[in-house]
Amino acid sequence: MGAHQQLIAVNDDLTQFHLTNRRVSMILDVVEGKLVNLYTGAAVPYRDDFGYLVDDSFRVQATTADEHGEHRIEQLRQEFPEYGRGDFRGSAVTILQSNGSRITDFRYVGYRAVNGKPALEGLPSTYAGTYAGPAAGESGPDGPDAAATTVDDAAATLSIDLKDDLTGLTATLNYTIFRDEPVIARSVRLTNGGDEPVTVERLASLNLDLPDSDYTMTEFTGAWARERTPHTQPLHPGVQSVASMWGASGPYFSPNAILARPGADEDQGEAFGLAFVYSGNFDLHAEVDAYDATRLQLGINPSGFAWRLQPGESFQSPEALLGYSAHGLGALSRTFHRIVLDHLENPRWARRERPILINNWEATYFDFTSDKLLELARLAKRAGVELFVLDDGWFGRGGHARVDDRAGLGDWVANPERLPGGVAGIAEKINAIGLQFGLWFEPEMVNRASDLYEAHPDWVIATPGRASAVYRQQYVLNFANPDVVDHIYEKMHAILSTANVAYVKWDMNRFITEVYDVTRGAERQGELFHRYILGVYALYRRLLAAFPDLLIEGCASGGSRFDMGILAYSPQIWTSDDTDAVERLSIQYGTSAFFPVSAMGAHVSITPNHQTGRSESLAMRGAVAMFGTFGYEMDLTRLGEGELDEIARQVAFFRKYAPLLHDGDLYRLRAPYDHRRAAWMTVSSDRRHAIVGDYVILGVPNRPKSRVRLRGLDEDALYRVTSLSRLEIPDGDAADGIAGAATDGAGVVRGPIPDGVSVVRSGGELMRIGIDDTNIGPDFAARIYLVDRIDEE
């Protein structure tokens, strides 16, 4: 039996579809030509007919029932609701036609069910089975996505065709259900089979009508340096939404949200998660109607969007992911983590350890020489660091040299005064020290003071006749223009093909204003935002096709473009420009709702911190950053021998435990938002090993007793728990567990476990009674617990 037969059951006589994997079910039905959702939630057994779920309740609204005997359209839980047909809630599709009408009537015409999962042309998307990445034949910025349909039983895909007879438009709704995860991927492909062009003004990737509104909605909000803070409120009548109009997913609102039943927490309760595999403008909203039903929609933001679709052309929406959990928010997060690692990121990097790096930015900013870089690299090598990253300031020549943020962007040639041997020369010298070499780019931007701008001022996004806003003395290149993408690709390729560059930090520090595309006519101006991000994706694909071993870290003025779309190309993203350890507790905690530890760029930086002025111990900074992709941003030449030795111990510790930190299941134990305490842990898939980060943010005088309760362990197993006040491999530690740390064998330790001491506790005790952490330190203190199962003789 094929996967689609196992995961997608079809009753052809009744035209009903049941997608299920024993974790989640989605049941679709065709009711008088309209595709409706009868049920989405916890898995239910198959039955021949779910028609009893069609809502026949009476509502006084517009209807065509008198003429056609239809159900009242507003009472149906539609999968593809249209504008102007009697359903007065938000539509999933709006099409402007040549006569000015926006009315369409999409009705069912057929379906296909296949094993595996088709790729989306020109867009990132999840995959199933064997990954066929961008190296497999990318032809150019407008060429097809290289990944092809994967025929594999890891997923099955149902494609349902709906057609509007008057315009000849066909909407193909694609549903992929994964065999092992309670996740359904949803996208829409719109094809113009008519004789006239139309304009697509709105096309939601996902529409889900739920029968009630008894949910809380958690959005992830913030700004630069304080990204992705959870904000939760009950659903209420009307519309509540998060969106972006900045040309990027942005730091202010994240293209992800959680709808949870009241009372749901980390360990119990029902919840849905929505995530957009897209990096541009988005709209995510929940609309509650007068009858307490909820409509969820996620897609490209329709504001400023208008896509001209000629006869014979198609438009593909980005992919939206719908996750489900019957066991709380923690389980929902771990589901999305596995989707990212096993079905989104390039497996070349997804579960492979990344090099521990040092970035020179906070050590030197723009003020550096080759000698200074090499001095930093030698000290980093002594500490065990594996990769040296040269950040901003290495490029531009003469009057356009990048010595500050006023010049040089767009001129991707080495500054000979700073790098006499060019990029190849400094890379060779760094390699000779024993480190890999990485390089910073900001491919999408240009300074007015640059050779590129002087040669091609028309390559900047700007509105004719109007002054352009400027930020950081830079402008946005028009990546909707293939000539621009070609040029930037050629410049980056010239460097990467002649220098041994193992890593690229891809930055993006400015949002799009004065939106106008001088290469296209008036009827195409609504396409720029989307064409721009397609150009970004095309450049990613072309670079990775040419350099398949290249590790790219995404960055956008910190975490301003931290989304599933970028993760398809960059397996790690700089989580925030705020490197303060206390602030990072909140930022990484919120980010973990959808993204795994290994996706979060996290570095130990200088103190006092450059963003907050706060001073924290090196031990605290390391204990926070290790729950991410680990690295350093500091001037090692200013540290004493004791601090350099501690960094060496941190590097050794992280290198040893990185597989557990990155491949383990993440459990959030204490939220940091009360500014008092925080805790989290990762547990190996076999539940034999765990590592816990336990943090004091602000101390409390005469504090009450406190215990941190662990999760994810085997109840009846015995575990040795070793307490550490800093990242340091305990004496006698062996590769397969703690062997020689001091222990209280009889288990008589009372109160917090002393530094360097081990105790033996059962999994049940650790999860239900917990570890006493009342007095583990003052302000800005951390304690690490290594938890290792003891095999009985």
In angstroms, rounded to a whole number, what is the distance separating the alpha carbons of residues 482 and 730? 55
Burial of 715 (0-12, 13-18, 19+ CB in 10 A): exposed
Query: Which residue, among 217, 452, 184, has the nearest Cα to 339 in the 3D structure?
Result: 184
Per the listing, tokens 């980390």 go with: 266
Q: How far is residue 175's CA from residue 315's CA, in Å, rounded to a whole number?
A: 17
Cα(22)–Cα(182) distance, integer angstroms: 8
How far apart (Å, rounded) are the C-alpha atoms in residues 323 and 321? 6
Comparing C-alpha atoms, which of 160, 207, 206, 211 is closest to residue 41? 211
Residue 761, helix vs strand vs coil: strand
Nearest C-alpha neighbor of 658 from the set 729, 553, 568, 731: 729
Q: Which residue among 87, 563, 577, 578 is the active-site one? A: 577
Tell how far CA 508 is from the center of its chain.
16
Residue 179 contacts residue 154 (beta carbons within 8 Å): yes
Which pair of tokens denotes residue 200? 């697509």
**Distance from C-alpha of 332 to C-alpha of 538, rounded to nearest angstrom:** 31
The answer to whether the CB of 390 falls within 8 A of the CB of 357 is no
Rounded CA-CA distance 485/479 in Å is 6
**From residue 727, how far is each of 433, 619, 656, 724, 740 by CA, in Å?**
25, 7, 11, 7, 16
Q: Is 165 a catalytic residue?
A: no
Contact 216, 235 (CB under 8 A): yes
Can you read off the two tokens belonging to residue 651? 């590097």
E strand map for 148-197: 155-164, 169-178, 183-192
- Helix segments in 474-595, DSSP class H: 482-496, 528-546, 564-567, 581-591
Q: Is 464 exposed, middle or buried (0-12, 13-18, 19+ CB in 10 A)?
A: exposed
d(CA 530, CA 282): 10
Longest dimension (CA), the chain: 86
Rg (CA), the chain: 27
Q: Catalytic one among 29, 145, 507, 733?
A: 507
DSSP assignment of 397-427, as one string?
-GGG--SSTTB-TT--SB-TTT-TTHHHHHH
Can you tell me the distance from the alpha carbon of 370 to that of 429, in angstroms, rounded to the nearest whole number?
10
User: Which residues face 26 on adjacent strands?
Assistant: 19, 40
CB contact at 8 A, 225 and 577? yes
Residue 665 and residue 682 in contact, taking contact as beta carbons nearer than 8 Å: yes
Please indicate whether residue 577 is annotated as part of the active site: yes
Query: At 721, is the secondary structure helix, strand, or coil?
Result: strand
CB-neighbour burial class of residue 426 (10 A; exposed 0-12, middle 13-18, buried 19+):
buried
Catalytic residue positions?
507, 577
